[in-house]
Amino acid sequence: MSPINQEAVRNIDKIIRIFLREAKKRNAPVFRFESFNNEFEALVKIILSSRTRDEKTMETTEKLFKRIKDPRGLIEINQKELEELLRGVAFYREKARKLKKLAEILVERYNGKIPREFKELVKLPGIGRKTANVFLASFHKKQAIGVDIHVHRISNRIGLVRTNKPEETEKELQGIIPKRYWNKINKAFVAYGQTICKAKPKCNECKIREMCWYYRENMNSGERI
C-alpha cells in the first residue's frame, strides 16, 4: 500500500466540494464564523478561536468589538476589563495579555495595520503558523493551509498524510495538494470536522467513506463505526 492515499489526493477537489456541501446542510458553525468587519477583527477572532468553540468565539468577539474598534482601542482598554470581556474563551487571561502586546506592536511598528506576509505575522504575539495561515487564506484569499485539530485529524484519517503534529501535516499537504486548493482546505475540513468527521466520526453519514482509509481499515477489522 502507498504511504498516502493517492485516490484521495487525485480527488481532493471532489472531497472539498462534498465536505462543504454536507457541512452546509448541517449548518456548521465555521460558516457563521466567517463574518467580520475588517482585518483586525478577523485576526482577533482567529486568535481567540484557538481551543475554543466557534460559538463562544463569535459571542466573545462581538462583545469585544462593541467596546473597541481597532488596535488603538485595544491598547486603551484596561487589562482587567479586557480579561472580563474574553472570559469564556480558552486561556482568556493569556490571550488578553498577548492581544494587548499585539496591538502595541501594530501601532508602533505598522501604523495600526496588519502585515500581510507570513514571516512577519508569525513574529507577532499570539500568532502561530495556523493563525497566520488561516488569516491569510480567509481574509486575503492567499494560498495558505491553516492546520488545526480538524485538518490534522481528518487528513490522517483519510490517508492524505501520516503525521504526528499539525506542523508536519501542513508541510505534507503542501507537498501533495495543488496550490489552487490550499486556501479551501481549512474551511472545508473544519466544517466537516464540526459536523460529520468528529472525534468520534459519523462514518455512516460520510459521503467519501469509500475512499477513506480509516473507514476501510475499520470495516476490514469488523469494528462498528
pLDDT at 102: 98
Q: Looking at the domain assignment, is residue 200 inside a domain?
A: yes
Which set of grid coordinates corresponds to residue 192? 466537516
d(CA 23, CA 151): 14
d(CA 173, CA 176): 5
Average predicted confidence (pLDDT) for the chain: 94
Considering the domain architecture, whether residues 44 and 68 belong to the same structural domain is answered as yes
pLDDT at 51: 87
At residue 97, what is the residue type? R
Mean pLDDT along residues 63-84: 95
Considering the domain architecture, whether residues 119 and 64 belong to the same structural domain is answered as yes
Per-residue b or e along 164-179, where b marks 16 or more CB atoms closer than 10 Å to that residue's CB:
eebeebbebbeeebee
Q: Which domain holds residue 178?
A: 6-27+143-216
Give the model confidence (pLDDT) of 28-62 as tens digits. 999 987 777 899 999 999 999 998 988 899 999 99
Q: Looking at the domain assignment, is residue 1 inside a domain?
A: no
- pLDDT at residue 218 greater than cutoff 90: no
At residue 129, what is the residue type? R
Contact 185, 173 (CB under 8 A): yes
Which set of grid coordinates corresponds to residue 209? 467513506
pLDDT at 37: 80
